[in-house]
Structure 1
């Protein structure tokens, strides 16, 4: 091993141990006001036990894959089964996660790789727009196309498991560090984006991973360590089902192969060993057939996490990585031999993993990994996390970009959201006199990939930071694109307006500002993932830059790259600020996508995937960040169903810009609206289908010899193995016959028929029966070609026994590009589930008023709803007063 790799290995160990042992990061100083105030989970929030783990394979769509998997598992030794359920250790292979293998039977080591927007730490790949940008398109076809392109690139690099899409966090906390990885602050927008991504990715034969399950809504204090548990997200059952589970249910219905358990706890129990979440909801109620993996180093126990439903440990290490310790691997072999882990639980774990491999067709002509997430060199250590590692070829530099830049550019373009455009200031002429300000307009001068995992805010902000990033193959910056289109451009690469500037009446100032956030293991400019120091303000003097420009130039256009909502009040109403564009996080295609809108090649058609307030005090106090405490930080969801626009509407707060808002260069009319009843509703869904048969699992403990170390095996220190010394294996087997394990409270090992709300992937299949369809003719009534979005919101009948938000998004559709005078008919579907609430007593979805009059509102934004359709009369009316 070379000296440089030796020191890099030591440095990684120091960083990781520091991350685990140190209390708050220096930049996340202890907030003494909060210390000691939230130490115990409130009494009404309970993580009930749910055992055993339901066996997989009872869903018809997976039956053949389970049949094949069961045959393979039947021929595996104990050590082979435990090997495939666990990673081989931190940095112990080419990928960010590397499972064990069963090569004797043809099952390779599985490669698991970030990120949800493109290949992390690779080369010759596309840096796609972030999830929040995709959500801002409100375009289902682009959501799917991005999934197809991502799947093709991951397959091309030989990756078995794509660690995406992200649908949690939901965006409950505006300052949350990773909100930008998801599709927006609404369960339906998240669900549609997630499900279509899954379909696209898995259509290419790659296993998708929906994450982070669940309620990981902030970055600080999410992880368990030896000094403090991860924070506990405390939530009621109805809110869990109607908001945060919704996109996971849709992802499971789409057939997702893997679910990643989050770092935090829910109602006091860590997600990686929360039996109610994993066994009860995920695998029983939602019928999940794939495997559950831990987030990296999120597993905090061996036997309890096994019994609670965890199937794969990543990256395999125990609490402190790079020491060769593990909760599973050899410890799982020991646990099966001594009887503490039932044999059928291990068989189910292994079968779920192998079934997902078969389900995606990876047993036939699937390429092995051809890249390294650890180095950009062609050769290097085969196991970089090992103290001493053999070396070899680790990177073949396979180009997987194909034509995916077009997909990325289309998304970045169609996500651009115009918030303001006074007197048709936009679009601009290419002959305009343009003065451009802000470092965000140009590439990072130190290099577009100079900051590891994009852990800095320098130059154009194309994505946040952390594991959800990718290296740029190139970055088409706004400045590059503008200067190639316009003939009279002067750029000031500064975030402070130069002194002595004068402006002519024809000058137009384009001011670029941004706001960043990311994952907690990197602190950027005092922000430890979440936006603590920056708050919801623009970074780098952005507000002052806009105000100063507005004091000199009579026409100012503000372009914003941001991870989420920012406060605009310091300058949004200044007379000189004529136009505002939110370009979100455009990835590598930040330039031409913007200029196509600026100069009128296309009309902006993006819409906000979140609400922009006037100030932070307009949010409920409960969605603020939780801080360090001497004990487990408690994050209690007292706002219930009321986040983002639901809260604003409930409290009659008119925000600065509403959820779904977005302007165009043209105008649209909605007409000829028709509502059609499709499936008659009943109060509760019809009885669920019975579970199908599952593979038969032996309960006999295998002989200890199945876990013996092979004779003469050459071990690599720090690499994780599933074998035991003969004496250890024999001793474990002897224990099984002389004592019994103290199982968790409520533990049983008798399979259940399943809850009434279940019955298929995602839940009772009748939940997706279409109750009503609405067709609407959208006509371009303006003088510019453009695309319109029809957003469909449900308002529940008055007088029902359940409190419901005023309106809730339930479907949406986007037109093709319509020329002046051109029309297109859009169809929106509303399902039984869309018209239901979760009843905590019946533990089922209930239509609260079967014959009641639901109003389905159609419009271009959540606060621009003047067209209503009524389920009781099956009539529609226009020109109504908006419900909010």
Structure 2
């Protein structure tokens, strides 16, 4: 989501640029939109019309039946109201729809973020997504989702804008990779699905985002000066990497989806008919509703025809001018026939059905906070020239015991990379010297930087709309001081010249690397790490080297948004311990101290690769800085991102994906594999027939339904309404210039579709692998078993040699205790996307498939061969 709740709007002026240059008949003064630059040959986005109807999935049938009974009795104004935001700053939330009070449907409140409730009070600042991914713990992924959902509900948020599974992390300098769960589609998919299930168990509607290809922050949006970049992705790469976590989110029943700002293959994501109509709603069977990112709505009719269901925050090209691509203009489009009535009915039905699906008709709270101010009272519509005032913040405490979950997530994410001479865990009587501002707090005060848009003190999260205010912060300094009295603190990034070092001293050096969303520039970095690169901020490398030159025992603690280079100091003789604590949220100090002093063994694993040099990555994953003309960001590396690339290029990283040490040791034994559902055909069996969808009277409604004269309320200037002056003058026309390829004749059902997430047969368990894990060390701890698939060359496609497909984590095992883990692999997990057949293809009978199990992508001692046995390598 974009962040213009607090910032200047100048860069957004004249944002009327469209991927398919269609004059917008929804406006009486249609503007001829600029043509897009040509995308490379073979990457064009084909048209896909019309939008498939929702409601055919059996587990959504009851919600759609309820929605149908409401929608068929709605006026045109009520329908348009629910599809269009009321405008930026036009309510308590970062976005809100209009309402349909006759049916008990209030203004629906939409609020950030993926890690907590943004811009409010008495909330929890949970660890970021990348931290959650590092836990490799499905139970904690779910529990954090429950906590976020409970807090959203408690604040009256109908639609919480998370989780984020895009970006995937293709670009290591990308500003928002920390909001997702890691640089692997399966890790992202499992993290996203568990979060969705947890959030929606509370009745809060989750929003999976950003769909799709938003892999860098710079030039993501279209403006009068530039056009948002085009992410040019081939069909197979799209399906096997970037779409994978979205498919699992849909399969988990996610209620809403947010489109990205950028183009994909030359067509803007918010009106890309192939992506929304063809892939999301037809192939993946998505039953919920699709919204724009904030101010990422570029045309009226074109977006509606392409499958968009909700415009957020509702404004047109220039915010706060009181106009919209939808709102009254959507009413006009219905009356003049340019948007078919069935399309509007489906939009509204999807929204109302999702509201019913989450039981929000049953005493769901109204918003009790304001994203616009921390004051108790203030204007109800801050964006209006004149606004009524009232109580806007009730300061409802929704934290519950979520600090326990937050601390557990942050603790289990702590990843031990290096531990020479068993320097860790620290002893309470060790003589410690602590260095770095990252060990302390923000010297300007807690939450003094809007949306965490600075790097001061311990890095708890990146910056931007994916943040939340910290209700409190336990810094590493506090966490360590709570455990030992033998620590001296030097909260500075310049190594003090007067520090003395004895042979028994241990220096603990804190460094970090930050990034965030593009609307804030921090220390020269406009979201992406353009200036800092992959190096530590605030001369962190120099701080480590200075400590290493004086102390014989050094432990480095890293808080980082993503990959960071360690080569300047990692091999220094005195650097004996390295911990990556990721982005821990409010419990930063407690969670770290839990691990530093050995109350818990570290059990985190790296959710991305740590390289030796930035040049080890493919050139195509660099940040593109091209201020004029549309950037063509072509994914020439294909499937080879992160560890897939390092293996394929035969480059040994500093630390591989999945790496993580412990204070104890574990032994894997007795591996076995069983066939659960035979792969007796290359392609899955045809999906069962879809159920019925709602049927309506699709005639154009009476113009009087959107006439101002029929209303009796006081108009708020700049508030977005569905009403028109003199709507009776609008007549239907048959000469609207629809996009190339537009049709009202439905496509045949995709052979890869048929259920939520795709053909249900794709998710049949094909193989089950069991492995016994024993704690063979002297301390309690948890182990993670990671399963990677190696597909045979007989499929005839260039495929990464190893791909993570499943993982499981043990409970806490005391010394000599064992636990058997079961890792289940689906048909889809061992399939490739057949571009010609437009279906998922697996080796018949699993012939040639190898399943590798171990501690990281570079440490896989167990090999199970389909048709054979499991053995140790």
TM over 0.5: yes
Q: Distance in 1 between matches of 2:43 and 2:328?
A: 36
Q: CA 1:811/1:443 → structure 2, altered by over 3 Å: closer, same or farther?
A: same
Query: In the alignment, is the contact (CA less than 8 A) between 2:843 and 2:849 conserved in 1?
Result: no
Shift of 1:499: 1.4
Change (3 A) 1:851 1:523: closer
The 8 Å contact of residues 39 and 630 in structure 1, kept in 2 or not, is answered as no
Paired residue for 1:664?
662
In structure 2, relative to structure 1, the CA distance for the partners of 1:447 and 1:21 (3 Å cut) is farther
Task: Work out the CA distance in 2 between the residues paired with 1:851 and 1:468.
Answer: 42
The separation in 2 between residues aligned to 1:430 and 1:696, in whole angstroms, is 70
3-state SS of paired residue (1:589): helix
Residue 502 of structure 1 and its aligned partner are, at CA, apart by: 2.5
Shift of 1:740: 2.5
Q: Please identify, of 441-450 and 181-190, the stretch whose mean Cα deviation from structure 2 is larger.
A: 441-450
Three-state SS of the structure 1 residue aligned to 2:369 is: coil
Is the 1:691–1:753 contact (alpha carbons within 8 Å) kept by the matching residues of 2?
A: no
From 359, 367, 380, the counterpart of 2:378 = 380
Residues 484, 449 of structure 1: alpha-carbon distance in 2 compared, 3 angstrom cutoff: same
Superposed, which structure 2 residues align to 1:391-406 within 5 Å? 391-406=389-404
Of residues 175, 178, 192 in structure 2, which corresponds to 1:177?
175
| Residue 688 of structure 2: aligned partner | 689
Give the distance between the partners of 1:853 and 1:703, measured in 2 at CA.
Answer: 64
Q: Within 2, Cα distance between the matches of 1:119 and 1:851?
A: 45
Q: Which moved more, 1:696-705 or 1:670-679?
A: 696-705
Q: Which runs of 5+ in 2 are unaligned?
A: 17-35
State the SS of the aligned residue for 1:81: helix
- 1:152 partner SS: helix
8 A Cα contact 1:690 1:753, kept in partner: no
Q: How many residues end up aligned between the 2 structures?
A: 849
User: In the alignment, which residue of structure 2 is the partner of 1:438?
Assistant: 436
Structure 1 residues 651 and 13, CA gap change in structure 2 (3 angstroms): closer
Distance 1:228 1:591 in 2: 43
Equivalent residue number for residue 718 of structure 1? 718
Deviation at 1:12, TM superposition (A): 7.3
- Specify the alignment match of 1:90 in structure 2: 88
Within 5 Å, give how 1:173-252 maps onto structure 2.
173-252=171-250
2:323 to 310, 322, 325: 325
Q: Distance in 2 between matches of 1:20 and 1:533?
A: 27
**Residues 460-475 of structure 1 aligned to structure 2 (within 5 Å):** 460-475=458-473
| More deviation, 54-63/691-700 | 691-700
In structure 1, C-alpha distance between the alignment counterparts of 2:431 and 2:337, rounded to whole Å: 78
Question: In structure 2, what is the Cα distance between the partners aligned to 1:206 and 1:14?
Answer: 28
Aligned to 1:17: 10
The structural deviation recorded for 1:133 is 0.2
Deviations 1:238-287, CA, capped at 9 Å, x for gaps:
00000000000000000000000000000000000000000000000000
Cα separation, 1, equivalents of 2:15 and 2:533 = 24
Q: Does 1:788 align with 2:779?
A: no
| Separation in 2, partners of 1:13, 1:158 | 21
> Mapping of 1:826-845 within 5 angstroms?
826-845=821-840
Q: Secondary structure at the match of 2:795?
A: coil
Partner of 1:869: 864
Partners of 2:7 and 2:142 in 1: CA distance: 41
For residue 507 of structure 1, what is the aligned residue in structure 2?
A: 505
**1:121-147 deviation per Cα after TM superposition (whole angstroms, max 9, x unaligned):** 000000000000000000000000001
CA-CA distance at 1:782 after TM superposition: 1.0
Equivalent residue, structure 1, for 2:804: 809
Aligned match of 1:562 in 560, 563, 582?
560
C-alpha separation between the residues in 2 aligned to 1:351 and 1:422?
A: 60
- Give secondary structure in 1 for the equivalent of 2:562: coil
Secondary structure of the 2:824 match is strand
Aligned twin of 2:705: 706
SS of 2:345's partner is helix
Moved over 4 A (4+): 11-14, 19-23
1:19 Cα shift? 5.1
- Does residue 759 (structure 1) correspond to residue 758 (structure 2)? The answer is no
Question: CA contact under 8 A between 1:39 and 1:629: conserved in structure 2?
Answer: no
SS at match of 1:430: coil
Aligned positions of 1:217-616 closer than 5 A? 217-616=215-614
* Distance of 2:585 and 2:548 partners within structure 1: 29
Q: Is the 1:121–1:471 Cα contact (8 Å) retained in structure 2?
A: yes
Matches within 5 A, 1:728-747: 729-732=727-730, 734=731, 736=732, 738-747=733-742
Distance across 1 between alignment mates of 2:185 and 2:777: 33
Instruction: Tell whether the 8 Å contact from 2:175 to 2:515 is kept in structure 1 after alignment.
Output: yes
Corresponding position: 1:134 with 2:132:
yes
Q: Which residue of 2 aligns with 1:7?
A: none
Q: Deviations over 1:671-727 (max 9, x none)?
A: 01110001011200001121210011333111111110135531111100000012x
Question: What is the Cα deviation at residue 501 of structure 1?
Answer: 2.5
Alignment pair present for 1:640 and 2:604: no
The answer to whether the 8 Å contact 1:13/1:321 transfers is no
Equivalent-residue separation in structure 2 for 1:851 and 1:401 (angstroms)? 48
2:833 counterpart SS class = strand
For 1:34-92, what per-residue CA distance to the aligned partner results, in whole angstroms no more than 9, with x for missing partners? xxxx9531011010000000011011111111111011011111111011101000010
CA contact (8 A) 1:125 1:473 kept: yes
CA contact (8 A) 1:165 1:209 kept: yes
Q: Which stretches in structure 1 are left out of the alignment for 5+ residues?
A: 1-10, 24-37
Distance 1:641 1:332, change over 3 A: same
Conserved? CA contact 1:837–1:848, under 8 Å: no
8 A Cα contact 1:213 1:261, kept in partner: yes
Instruction: Name 2:20's counterpart in structure 1.
Output: none
Return closer, same or farther for 1:20/1:543 CA change in 2, 3 Å cut-off: farther
Deviation sequence 1:155-189 (CA, Å, 0-9, x none): 01111001000000000000000000000000000
Q: Secondary structure at the match of 2:9?
A: helix
**How much does 1:739 deviate?**
4.0
- Matched ranges for 1:97-112 at <5 A: 97-112=95-110
Cα offsets for 1:491-511 (capped at 9, x unmatched): 111101011332111111110
Q: How far off is 1:13 after superposition?
A: 9.2
SS in 1 for 2:586: coil
Aligned counterpart for 1:118 among listed residues 108, 116, 119: 116
Give the equivalent residue in structure 2 for 1:673: 671
Quick check: 1:13–1:322 contact (8 Å CA) kept in 2? no
Distance 1:649 1:266, change over 3 A: same
Structure 2: distance between partners of 1:718 and 1:19: 17
In the TM superposition, residue 21 of structure 1 has moved relative to its aligned partner by: 7.0
Q: Contact (CA 8 Å) 1:802, 1:848: kept in 2 or not?
A: no
Secondary structure of the structure 2 residue equivalent to 1:657? coil
1:846 equivalent in structure 2? 841
Whole-angstrom distance in 2 between the partners of 1:853 and 1:844: 20
- CA deviation string 1:552-597 (max 9, x = no partner): 0110100000000100000000001010000000000101111111
Is the contact between residue 135 and residue 412 of structure 2 (CA under 8 Å) also seen in structure 1?
yes
Query: What is the deviation of 1:469?
Result: 0.1
Number of the residue aligned with 2:27: none
Q: CA deviation at 1:849?
A: 4.4
Distance 1:495 1:340 in 2: 61
Q: CA deviation at 1:752?
A: 3.2
What CA distance in whole angstroms lies between the structure 2 residues aligned with 1:577 and 1:688?
Answer: 57
Structure-2 change in CA distance of 1:559 and 1:21 (3 Å): farther
- Identify which range, 500-509 or 341-350, moves more after superposition: 500-509
* Contact residue 857 and residue 868 of structure 1 kept, 8 A: yes
Tell me, in whole angstroms, the C-alpha distance in 1 between the residues paired with 2:870 and 2:713. Answer: 74
> Distance in 1 between the 2:101 and 2:859 partners?
59
- Provide the C-alpha distance between the structure 2 equivalents of 1:255 and 1:13, rounded to a whole number of angstroms: 32
